Structure 1
């Protein structure tokens, strides 16, 4: 069979895998691949910065529920992309990064843009701390096999990014197409582990015997596409559901057994129910610091008193932070199928738990009423609660929301109802400022028929405004709502509360609030942009943005008031030991 270049065979391989989009930026090490994409049905999403590419690919993978692909240049290209790849890694998002590198025959000579201060041709090692695996392709003939392994590893077990680092001359080498054809016969998806009936009966019996059980659901439920199975289990067993930040939306927020988000930004109801539970059933969660009030047993979870059942696909997470009474390594979708069947055998009729449902309903009414004065406040800059209320009122139930960090993440987790599983994309493990805006690009590319809105602070939006060029160039009609408090607001509130200063956290010029006019910036790129001038105007502008089907930026001034908390974060004690101090307003 006639030999063909690796770059052209790679594109054909990706097509056969069902890859429809690649996110990236050109460089002299990867243009052979770009050349091979000409005429391909794969669409190259051209970005102006590699961090935009990796965040967009992250959002795409979350919305599309399959591994995304990033094409990167060597050296500064790969390091620019690293923050977005690390964010995907800590949130368990599958991604295959294909990076060009120096020519193989220049190892040790320090050619243009090589990273070799400690070893020759070692740029791939930069990614080792956060990717599932980093390959350096040393033999062209092994490239097909490595690509197949890369996709399998990215999508199996606990998902995550991988790196395939390729000397640029290999992309132009010719190899026998039989090498790619051979790997094409390999299965595209591995069968996933479940639990046996004995383990399922043990779990169900423990929960049936429990007096005050609680389910703590994490983002692993969404990654396993197990929201439907979890809902069936909850409805039958009548057990209330708390969730981590990453688990928000595993059940619709108007489900009558959803308690809300736990931890630092949790409410009195959810933290109290978790603290007083006799059994906690953790599904797809790593019991992270913010979700567990820094693991201090006075606030959210106390496993001196409670017992823990924990199911996760990653065995290293089981028992990492809390002792486990019953632990199982399994894919949640498969495990919950068994649990649902066994639960119906052991409990033929569902448990309603009406008193608990009524308690949750009453708390929700009280909580909503407590926020109503902020929701109805006509002040400008706007109250953040009013911004979120208007957004929820205007958007359809299945709209995809991306957040960044600060009020738009913490407040959304606490107060913004999510009705469709997997429709909120937020940076959890790495908490990366700058994620939300480009992630909306990827989500909209993945789901063009759904409304996609990025709720992002002015600090986060200012990280990568060049993503608007990609939105316009590629006709990606996402909406960005810039909740503009002229500050790194959450940090400003922390600093003022504990130290009485705001140095380095507020944006000021001549002692006045300063920020770019993001609506004008949007228009300069060719997108739509409106700077809201009053609280009353905001709803009409958002409705217009949804109908426009164009990239649309809404810049709305917002008061920098803190998200109310009932949980705890240990950093508060570091700043002010025994002070009982949290955040304060900087307005």
Structure 2
């Protein structure tokens, strides 16, 4: 029996239990819209900008762990979606992008909006640098096979986005349903690799023999949902844990052995623990620049003192930035199970480190105490620390927070305790402004029973305020907390520290701070909103927003206070060169700490 490809594609998505397709219309995808309109199981979420579609889909995939679906038009539709797709790629988020293309029989003839600078019908090439695979449908009968491969590829190994570029005539072609028969059979899941017993035993032995071991965790632990397995190993061997930005939430920030975030936004206490470790077990981390203090030896990590063990699902990451004694490709959930099993055989009584636990407790107590004056300060505009304190007092522990860039990412990761796995979502690799405001739409659709908020700067929110229209149209009850310092505050602080001005980074008219009145803008979209007028009012307004069960925006004027930084980021030495650093390498003495400038 023959049936339209567009209709068979919808059938396929329904069989995969896909609930939502995020997208924006265009003439190349009208046939798909027609098929979606007839579906009783799929809901199409229409947005006003394709970056919102891809970012909302990113949030949905983070919340569910399964590939989300984006549908967009060719040309500007595809390029507008680029930023959200690239953000998902760098954070290892599974996604399938179905993009309309020019008619297959018009390649190279300049049909409307064709991209063909280097070859005819070339638009799918745009995505090649950041997707796992870019397919173009040239033969309609191959569409079912490519669909299956795309979803499996997106979700397996190191997850990430896959593009399927579909010439618009393909949607309207009929093919025999027999070509989709294969997709009805077998499993959708791919079994991931585990550690062999000998490797698990070697790793367990190294951790047990170490005098000062540290487990350093990244976003891979979150993606593999290895929360229980990590905590059991940590508790059994009493090994302290450091984390990257993306590793937040994998182990409670209140766990007695959780040190906190390393690198530029890490403190001296945390960085000293990792720099002086004799064994570090790196789990699902790339040992990236900000987390590693630009790899300045002895600041956060030191391969002269430390033996590194690295486990990752992606073989390309093993040994990329530090030499490894043991490098292993494995699913982290399975790897941690195997290591714990061997550790219990080697040392059944486990290991206790009461002095270390007391030392960590004393450090955390002192760190929190040092923040108390500014966190309790009632000055207005509010301090970012006061905003975080009030949010934490009201927000349920199992609520989901999407951050953005600047204070609301770096400060949250450093100072805001996350205790439940999967309740914090940062834009890490690409660090995209506007991530938080759109990602919460997808997260809330995935977790309708949870409170979902974003802490986002005014610069970040201003990139795509039309998220308000989508939230209103589909009644997605999320809360935007706009931390408003009338600037791209992080960059303003960086520029001010090095060049003593803030040209191009602050919002002014005639020398006076300027921003749209975000609460009034939200109201114009039909969104409930309030602007905070006093620090004492914020907590009650935030609680009202959480309990309103409708989209709600809060505009919070905030003082531009940099995030404290004890680590190092090489960009500071580029702007203000130091005599003991050349081309990112220490040539004499110790690295000087940064000037407490928060950078992005």
Q: Does 1:582 align with 2:589?
A: no
Give the corresponding residue for 2:585: none
How many angstroms does 1:350 deviate by? 3.0
CA distance in 2, matches of 1:18, 1:229: 28
How many angstroms does 1:349 deviate by? 2.1
Structure 2 counterparts to residues 369-380 of structure 1, below 5 A: 369-380=369-380
CA distance in 2, matches of 1:302, 1:343: 26
How many angstroms does 1:335 deviate by? 1.0
How many angstroms does 1:313 deviate by? 0.5
Asked if structure 1 preserves the Cα contact closer than 8 Å seen for 2:564 and 2:598, the reply is no
Give the corresponding residue for 1:35: 34
Give the corresponding residue for 2:20: 21
CA distance in 2, matches of 1:449, 1:174: 41
Give the corresponding residue for 2:10: 11
Asked if structure 1 preserves the Cα contact closer than 8 Å seen for 2:565 and 2:596, the reply is no
Asked if structure 2 preserves the Cα contact closer than 8 Å seen for 1:75 and 1:113, the reply is yes
Give the corresponding residue for 1:198: 198
Asked if structure 2 preserves the Cα contact closer than 8 Å seen for 1:265 and 1:567, the reply is yes
Asked if structure 2 preserves the Cα contact closer than 8 Å seen for 1:561 and 1:584, the reply is no
Asked if structure 1 preserves the Cα contact closer than 8 Å seen for 2:522 and 2:528, the reply is yes
How many angstroms does 1:46 deviate by? 0.8
CA distance in 1, matches of 2:186, 2:109: 39
Give the corresponding residue for 2:366: 366
The two structures, once aligned, show a CA RMSD in angstroms of: 1.1
Listed as ranges, the gaps of 5+ residues in structure 1 are none
Give the corresponding residue for 1:418: 418
How many angstroms does 1:581 deviate by? 5.0
How many angstroms does 1:348 deviate by? 1.4
CA distance in 1, matches of 2:390, 2:307: 41
CA distance in 2, matches of 1:87, 1:184: 32
SS of residue in 2 equivalent to 1:554: strand
Give the corresponding residue for 2:176: 176
CA distance in 1, matches of 2:383, 2:397: 23
SS of residue in 1 equivalent to 2:131: coil
Give the corresponding residue for 1:134: 134
Q: Does 1:301 align with 2:314?
A: no
User: 1:499–1:531: structure 2 CA closer, same or farther, 3 Å change rule?
Assistant: same
Give the corresponding residue for 2:589: none
Structure 2 counterparts to residues 339-488 of structure 1, below 5 A: 339-488=339-488
How many angstroms does 1:21 deviate by? 0.6
How many angstroms does 1:585 deviate by? 9.5
Asked if structure 1 preserves the Cα contact closer than 8 Å seen for 2:399 and 2:451, the reply is yes
SS of residue in 2 equivalent to 1:29: helix
SS of residue in 2 equivalent to 1:30: helix
CA distance in 1, matches of 2:238, 2:419: 19
Structure 2 counterparts to residues 433-582 of structure 1, below 5 A: 433-578=433-578, 582=595
Please list the CA deviations of residues 178-226 of structure 1 after superposition, one character each: whole Å capped at 9, or x if unmatched. Answer: 1112122132011110011111110010010100000000000011111
SS of residue in 1 equivalent to 2:264: coil
Q: Please give the TM-score of this superposition, normalised by the length of structure 1.
A: 0.98
Listed as ranges, the gaps of 5+ residues in structure 2 are 579-591
Asked if structure 2 preserves the Cα contact closer than 8 Å seen for 1:194 and 1:331, the reply is yes
Give the corresponding residue for 2:338: 338
CA distance in 1, matches of 2:594, 2:283: 32
CA distance in 1, matches of 2:223, 2:61: 10
CA distance in 1, matches of 2:116, 2:231: 52
Asked if structure 1 preserves the Cα contact closer than 8 Å seen for 2:569 and 2:594, the reply is no
SS of residue in 1 equivalent to 2:272: helix
CA distance in 1, matches of 2:141, 2:344: 53
Asked if structure 1 preserves the Cα contact closer than 8 Å seen for 2:490 and 2:598, the reply is no
CA distance in 1, matches of 2:441, 2:156: 25
Q: Please give the TM-score of this superposition, normalised by the length of structure 2.
A: 0.96
CA distance in 1, matches of 2:256, 2:486: 38
Give the corresponding residue for 1:283: 283
CA distance in 2, matches of 1:222, 1:583: 29
Please list the CA deviations of residues 244-291 of structure 1 after superposition, one character each: whole Å capped at 9, or x if unmatched. Answer: 000011101111100000000001221110011000000000000000
CA distance in 2, matches of 1:580, 1:275: 14
SS of residue in 2 equivalent to 1:337: helix
How many angstroms does 1:580 deviate by? 5.7
CA distance in 2, matches of 1:479, 1:301: 38
Asked if structure 2 preserves the Cα contact closer than 8 Å seen for 1:403 and 1:426, the reply is yes
SS of residue in 2 equivalent to 1:501: coil
Asked if structure 1 preserves the Cα contact closer than 8 Å seen for 2:192 and 2:331, the reply is yes
Give the corresponding residue for 1:247: 247
Q: Does 1:82 align with 2:95?
A: no
SS of residue in 1 equivalent to 2:192: coil
How many angstroms does 1:420 deviate by? 1.1
SS of residue in 2 equivalent to 1:242: strand
Asked if structure 2 preserves the Cα contact closer than 8 Å seen for 1:560 and 1:585, the reply is no
Asked if structure 1 preserves the Cα contact closer than 8 Å seen for 2:567 and 2:593, the reply is no
Number of equivalences: 585
